[in-house]
């Protein structure tokens, strides 16, 4: 079955312990609902730099990566359907879905 990277962009961090707990619960519930499709739950990302032929810039550009996960899905439409439940969407972020290519 094909594998898909879910690349998370944006979103906001909760500012209270109660909101942080609520957010973590939403992520756990979402991953639980995906079951065996989750190959690697991934992690949030920290500081980033973009490396180009002309130099290096800080911050990851206009829409920096904020985290990732790796899922298995029947096809890209199935992966997108799974991504629609991602809690980052409620926090103002977005999810980029890309199929990995076995080499």
- In tens, the pLDDT along 41-99 reads 999 999 999 899 999 989 888 889 999 999 999 999 999 999 999 999 999 999 999 99
Q: Per DSSP, what are the bridge partners of residue 49?
A: 58
- The number of angstroms, rounded, from the C-alpha of 40 to the middle of its chain's C-alpha atoms is 11
Token reading at 47: 């500081």
Residue 41 burial by CB count (10 A; 0-12/13-18/19+): exposed, middle or buried? middle
Q: Supply the pLDDT for residue 61.
A: 80
All domains of the chain, ordered by start, with CATH?
A: 3-99 (3.30.70.1060)
Q: What is the pTM of this model?
A: 0.90
Q: Tell me what the mean pLDDT of segment 21-41 comes to.
A: 96
């Amino acid at each position: 079955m094909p594998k898909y990277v879910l690349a998370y962009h944006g979103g906001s961090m909760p500012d209270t312990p109660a909101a942080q707990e609520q957010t973590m619960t939403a992520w756990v519930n979402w991953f639980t609902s995906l079951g065996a499709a989750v190959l690697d739950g991934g992690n949030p990302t920290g500081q980033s730099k973009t490396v180009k032929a002309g130099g290096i810039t800080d911050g990851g550009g206009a829409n920096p990566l904020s985290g990732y996960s790796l899922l298995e899905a029947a096809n890209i439409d199935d992966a997108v359907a799974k991504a629609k439940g991602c809690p980052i969407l409620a926090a103002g972020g977005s999810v980029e879905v890309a199929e990995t290519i076995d080499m």
